[in-house]
Amino acid sequence: MTTTQPLLGAPTARLEAREKVTGAARYATDHPTDRTAYAWPVPATVVRGEITSIDTTAALADPAVLAVLTHQNAPRLHETDDPNLAVLQSPHVAHRGQFVALAVATSLESARAAAEAIRVTYRTEPHDVVLTPDHPGLYKPDEVNAGLPTDREHGDFDTAYANAPVRIDAVYETPALHNHPLEPHAATALWDGDDLTVYDSNQDSSGVQRTLAQLFGLANGKVHVVNEHVGGGFGAKGTARPPVVLAAMAARTVRRPVKLALPRNQLAAVTGYRAPTIQRIRIGADPEGHIEALAHEAITQSSTITEFVEQAAAPSRTMYNAPHSRSTHRVAQLDVPTPSWMRAPGECPGMFALESAMDELALACGVDPIELRTRNEPAVEPDSGLPFSSRHLVECLREGACRFGWHDRDARIGGRREGRLLIGSGVAASTFPALVMPSQAEAHAAADGSYEVRVSASDIGTGARTVLTQIAADTLGVPLDSVRVRVGSSDLPPASVAGGSSGTASWGWPVHKACTELRQRLAERGYAVPEQGITVAADIAQDIDEREDLARHAFGAQFAEVQVDPATGETRVRRLLGVFAAGRILNSRTARSQFIGGMTMGLGMALLEGSTMDPAFGDYAERDLAAYHVAACADVPEIDVHWIEEEDPHLNPMGSKGIGEIGIVGTAAAIANAVHHATGVRVRALPIHPDVLVARLADQPGPP
Amino acid sequence: MGAMTAVTLDINGERFSRELDNRTTLLDLLREHAHLSGAKKGCDHGQCGACTVLLDGHRVNSCLLLAVAMDGTEITTIEGLAEGDTLHPLQQAFVDHDAFQCGFCTPGQICSAVGAIAEARAGWPSAVTAEDAPEGPVELTVPEVRERMSGNLCRCGAYVNIVSAVREVAR
């Protein structure tokens, strides 16, 4: 029972790779069903008001149409803690795009036509959809996303800031950003008596199971959620979303399997998004750049349905030493769709602001940006006062500087030209908490010498299935191919969401624990396995509680080189480099892809992505992939990724930190800082669109 | 119920005949009638490329084509690329270069790459091909691959690896 190759850290290819390149991998609406019906939702065409009538006559005239569900006839749902899921339960409309009806037919074509033929009339009310820094509805929430405190204060910020020789005071804005996973939210729902099976595109089969059970008044065991392959999520599929609820309601009504794949142009309104932020940062420092006072005050929005508060000021509580500090969040609940998680909520927009401000401070002090960050490296986590379990930000910055050739650059603003192009480079730090959530797993040794490990993990493209197999085989001390890891079903031992970069830690830990005990029990028996096999179950809830209080975070440094065409205002990224310290890297191949993927999305955030609120229409104007620009192949340069070998015994048995989100944190700031270096234009509101830059360049003194 | 029309086409070397609602797209024919779920519906509007298949050897967005107009055509989907257990060189290159994460855009990316390589070999220029480039096959440089593969979005951000995979096969 020995292996020669180390399994942890190996560049093992994704175990489902073959299925994915041959089209055999089945996603939510790829499962064959008999007598399939198709559902097509109808979004509200007003922003705020009440449905006064719904005329379904024309829709029902087509014999292929099986039903039209509305708030008048849809099955009643039980309440959950997410009121966004109370679909078709009331005539009230809280935002444009909220579902008001559902057409169900024996063909996709008839369902779509029926949805378009449904006539809904409304009594409308005035709406309020625009977030402003002085919005009268802004208030202090009880807490912000991830259960973090709303405000934190240390020392006397106001006095320290007023007395500081160097002061930065700037407002940074990030627009609403939409996740737009390539697979739209989709579900196939089947009822068998009181048993509900859904093939659903989500990041948490256990969580969606519990939610559906609650909504339909069923025991958890009656609901089976399968998410074997998920076409991306980036947070938008972290909890149950309305489509799966509609599919289950429709299937119960028409007594057939129902497929519902959300049309792309309906996604933006009902599946969550990153809320826009307005962030004021003030830094007071001495002339050498040592920070005396730091305030990070974030304003954001939520819907009138639920309060979700993007924790944008949170990273300022971790990043830099600041004896006098303040971080606050205020939110206004508007008549807008409900925001939710999008890759690195909090850190992603928050670090755009903080790392842009650090660049401004570096320039104001005449200190190199890397040296400035090094000078403000804290001994303990500034807000909590806790020691870091490990922190290698400075090492990432230094390693990156060497690899990027940072110190060879001409630090002067606008100092480098190639023809008419202005060239610049920028740096920013990355951070993301190393989280872990309670999960369970089982390990089974079969009489034939094979092993099966069960955990209701969700592999949304992260490589979870593969890395869990590596962890299991490594722990058992057996070859990779003798272990089968089953994930992607709520029928497996309950596990946590594929979110918060916590999957590998949360699922790998109980897998490790179960396999460790199984190996021990096998050894005690001289490796004789009875015919029925041996099964060991593990739960890490208590192990998590017993951990020492420490500040656990991953860190990184990102470097960008850009070119700006002053004639058109077009920015192109020429190269990106990321160096990360994220504990032990368990699969070098999939980890590299995750980092690159995050940085690619960060590039999109910097230059392309952004949803625009139309005050009259009352919703975001960008509703599909032609209007909402995600990075395409031609936008993305060579991206170089490295990591520091980081030994951290305070995390989990594997020594890993999450890597799914940190890649997007800091990219936009590195690019914006590079644009400033190239042009002298400081863009504090993303994205850096050509029209913004060309106008600002025209206002610059002197050439070009 | 919409008006119906009979259509016969060749899908991955097999004859497929069906009476179809005239509103049916080629993508929905493949997914809902031929039960070939490899081609994916990412946007249904020709914006994402996840539904890319080969129509008489050329890459197309199958969500933008009406099935009844496809009578007599030859369609190759992702399911038709491998030779038995042997993957198509592009499928193998995508595995080797980890050119995907969630895998949802992958069937479209691979079909699109098959089409793109054929187009370059046939001398079709792209937006980045030099105006004075000689007649004949276009070399698939990194900028050429990036340009030619830009009709296929990947939200996981696997472009860097997709470019390596396509370049390896194009060489």
pLDDT tens string A679-696: 999 999 999 999 999 999
Residue type at position A171: V
Quick check: A460 and B37 CB within 8 A? no
**Which of A545, A579, A603 is where one domain is finished?**
A545
Q: Quick check: is A6 in a domain?
A: no
- Is A172 found in the same domain as A186? no
Quick check: B41 and A13 CB within 8 A? no
Distance CA A663, CA A643 (A): 12
**Which of A212, A237, A270 is where one domain is finished?**
A270
A292 is catalytic: no
Chain A residues touching residue B44 (CB < 8 angstroms):
263-264
Tell me which of A633, A640, A667 to substitute to probe the interface with B (most B C-beta atoms closer than 10 Å): A633
**Helix, strand or coil for residue B132?**
coil
Chain B residues touching residue A263 (CB < 8 angstroms):
44
Is the model's pLDDT at B2 over the cut of 90? Answer: no
Q: Quick check: is A378 in a domain?
A: yes
- Is A92 found in the same domain as A191? yes
State phi, psi for A623 to the nearest 5 degrees. Answer: -120, 0
pLDDT at A1: 43
Containing A473, the helix (H) or strand (E) segment is helix A464-476
Nearest CA in chain B to A179: B155
A107-160 pLDDT, tens digit each = 999 999 999 999 999 999 999 999 999 999 999 999 999 999 999 999 999 999
CA neighbours closer than 13 Å in the CB half-sphere of residue A228 = 16
- Is A594 found in the same domain as A672? yes
- Is A363 found in the same domain as A298? yes
Asked if A595 contacts A582 with a C-beta cutoff of 8 angstroms, the reply is no
Band the pLDDT of A2: cuts 50, 70, 90: very low
Angle at Cα A641 formed by Cα A635 and Cα A645, nearest 5°? Answer: 165
Quick check: A633 and B145 CB within 8 A? yes
**Helix, strand or coil for residue A555?**
strand
Mean pLDDT of A479-503: 98
Distance CA A346, CA A350 (A): 6
pLDDT at A700: 78
Domain holding A100: CATH number?
3.30.365.10
Nearest CA in chain A to B111: A21
Contact residues, B window 113-142, toward A, CB-based 8 Å cutoff? none
pLDDT at A4: 56
Q: In DSSP terms, which residues pair with A573 in a beta bridge?
A: A562
- Is A294 found in the same domain as A162? yes
Contact residues, B window 138-167, toward A, CB-based 8 Å cutoff? 143, 145-147, 149-163
CATH topology (fold) of B4-80? Ubiquitin-like (UB roll) (3.10.20)
- Is A501 found in the same domain as A471? yes
- Is A173 found in the same domain as A284? yes
Quick check: B48 and A625 CB within 8 A? yes
Quick check: B37 and A23 CB within 8 A? yes
Mean pLDDT of A448-455: 97
Is the model's pLDDT at A704 over the cut of 70? Answer: no
Distance CA A540, CA A514 (A): 10
Query: Is the CB of B35 inside 8 Å of chain A's CB atoms?
Result: yes
CATH number of B89-170: 1.10.150.120
Chain A residues touching residue B105 (CB < 8 angstroms):
182, 231
Nearest CB to B104 within list A231, A597, A635? A231
Quick check: A23 and B160 CB within 8 A? no
A427-439 pLDDT, tens digit each = 999 999 999 999 9
Q: Quick check: is A348 in a domain?
A: yes
Tell me which of A21, A112, A266, A587 to substitute to probe the interface with B (most B C-beta atoms closer than 10 Å): A21
- Is A283 found in the same domain as A348? yes
Is the model's pLDDT at A3 over the cut of 70? Answer: no
- Is A319 found in the same domain as A356? yes
Residue type at position A256: R
Spell out the domain ranges in chain B.
4-80, 89-170
**Which of A545, A580, A614 is where one domain is finished?**
A545
Q: Please tell me the distance in Å from A74's CA to the nearest CA on chain B.
A: 24
Chain mean position to CA A448:
41
Chain B residues touching residue A600 (CB < 8 angstroms):
157, 159-160
Q: Quick check: is A10 in a domain?
A: no
Residues 6+ apart with CB under 8 A from A616: none
- Is A471 found in the same domain as A331? no
Asked if A608 contacts A687 with a C-beta cutoff of 8 angstroms, the reply is yes
Quick check: B42 and A264 CB within 8 A? yes
Nearest CA in chain A to B24: A109
Angle at Cα A626 formed by Cα A622 and Cα A183, nearest 5°? Answer: 90
The DSSP code for A665 is T
User: Residue A666's domain spans which residues?
Assistant: 388-434+552-704
Domain count, chain A: 4
pLDDT at A532: 97
State phi, psi for A444 to the nearest 5 degrees. Answer: -125, 130
Q: Pick the closest to residue A379 from A432, A450, A443, A321 (CA basis).
A: A321
- Is A247 found in the same domain as A313? no
Cβ pairs A/B, distance under 8 A: 195
Is the model's pLDDT at B157 over the cut of 90? Answer: yes
Distance CA A633, CA B165 (A): 13
Task: Name the active-site residue from A442, A561, A622, A661.
Answer: A661
Tokens of A223: 């609901």
- Is A445 found in the same domain as A410? no
Q: Please tell me the distance in Å from A33's CA to the nearest CA on chain B.
A: 10
Asked if A441 contacts A507 with a C-beta cutoff of 8 angstroms, the reply is yes
Containing A539, the helix (H) or strand (E) segment is strand A534-539
Q: At what angle do helices A464-476 and A503-524 cross, to 10 degrees?
A: 30
Angle at Cα B139 formed by Cα B137 and Cα B142, nearest 5°? Answer: 150
Pair type for strands A195-200 and A291-303: unpaired
Q: Pick the closest to residue A51 from A90, A78, A13 (CA basis).
A: A90
